[in-house]
Amino acid sequence: MRFTRRHALGALAALPLISRPAWAQQNAFPTRPVRLLVGFAPGGLTDIAARALADRMGKTLKQNVVVENRPGGQAIIATVAVARAEPDGYTLGFAGTNGMILNPLLYNNLPYQPSDFKQLGSMGKSPMLLIVHPDLGVNTVQAFIDLAKKKPNDITCAHAGRGVINHLALLHFQSKTGTQFQDVPYKGSGPALLDLMAGTVQSTFDFPTSALSNIKSGKLKVLAVTADKRLSSLPDVPTMKEAGVDDFELYTRMMISGPAAMPADVVKTLEHAVREGTRDPSLIQQFAEQGVAVEFTSSADLDKVIADESAMWAQVIKANGVPKTDLKA
């Protein structure tokens, strides 16, 4: 058959239909590494969990997901950076309870609002541990309380910064037990735990992920867990209720978010990557052994979770007389 001008025009007209899917596939999100900002120093639960999930997300996205630590300011520095980032999906935040729930309850002039973000899912939640230096000489929560009452404002308790979840846990513990500690703020759990092991400070509330190896090696001693049941990794450690402190179930939730104006197709891709990451059996086992319940919560359900947990923490803040303050310029 003779190839005519009409055939050539027909072939040209068909080219967009053939080439468009290939072009779209070549330029589909993401085409470069994705940043995952963490508002705390390396070594704490938020950092450890973010790195573990980032690795799994990267496999699904077929691009590296790079964790970038921006500690300080009760996670505000990192959270603001996510809110103000280009809404293209390449800058995300591993915000946790502090960034999304506590800060809006604690500050009047917070430079972001929950509406500035699109939630991409939750990795799970973790309770805290009441941990002491072995040289403190206490083996139970009651002995710890008794010693604190004998020495008010003398026993030091480290935390990851004023207004951070383990600082509020300390305030809650003081009000529940009638004790008073000398609180020592740090820029993250990692530095606080290092000083606790060195004996520079004497106690802290922190997460199993951060402290478990040093507890099992005998460098740190754990007195209780803030969960509703004992941890399989620490079966001999009582819950706070078993130790005599009622209504002391406290958790942090690990949430992934990006700028609110991200395109719907980018949101769908990222949420899928978070979901697939939390299904990894090795991730589930890794964190279950350290007291973290890895379970995906979709973006559709996470808004209600945030509202419910905000109400719970608001009660803790009110009961402990923590004022809502203005951020310093």
Here the CATH number for the domain that contains residue 212 is 3.40.190.10
Residue 296 maps to a domain: yes
Of 225, 241, 266, the one marking the end of a domain is 225
Alpha carbon distance 169, 316 (integer Å): 9
pLDDT of 329 reads 60
Q: β-pairing, 156-159 with 65-69?
A: unpaired
- Looking at the fold, whether 42 and 181 belong to one and the same domain comes out as no
What pTM does this model have?
0.77
- Per residue in 13-67, pLDDT (tens digit) is 443 443 434 434 446 899 999 999 999 888 878 898 999 999 999 999 999 999 9
Confidence category of residue 1, pLDDT binned at 50, 70, 90: very low
- Per residue in 117-175, pLDDT (tens digit) is 999 999 998 999 999 999 999 999 999 999 999 999 999 999 988 888 999 999 999 99
Residue 26 maps to a domain: no
- Looking at the fold, whether 40 and 77 belong to one and the same domain comes out as yes
CA atoms within 13 A on the CB side of 227: 23
Residue 315 maps to a domain: yes
For residues 25 and 100, the model is more confident at 100
Which of 82-91, 206-215, 311-320 shows the highest mean pLDDT? 82-91
Q: β-pairing, 34-38 with 65-69?
A: parallel
Alpha carbon distance 298, 142 (integer Å): 40
Of 165, 190, 225, the one marking the end of a domain is 225
Number of domains the chain is built from:
2
For residues 291 and 53, the model is more confident at 53
Residue 241 maps to a domain: no
pLDDT of 22 reads 42
- Looking at the fold, whether 54 and 191 belong to one and the same domain comes out as no
Distances in Å between the Cα of 37 and the Cα atoms of 210, 259, 268 are 19, 12, 20
Average pLDDT, the chain: 89
- Looking at the fold, whether 110 and 256 belong to one and the same domain comes out as yes
pLDDT of 232 reads 86
Confidence category of residue 221, pLDDT binned at 50, 70, 90: very high
Average pLDDT over residues 62-89: 94
CATH number for the domain that contains residue 298: 3.40.190.150
Residue 189 maps to a domain: yes
Asked if residue 185 has pLDDT above 70, the reply is yes
- Looking at the fold, whether 116 and 263 belong to one and the same domain comes out as yes
- Looking at the fold, whether 119 and 255 belong to one and the same domain comes out as yes
Residue 114 maps to a domain: yes
Domain that residue 108 falls in: 34-124+251-319
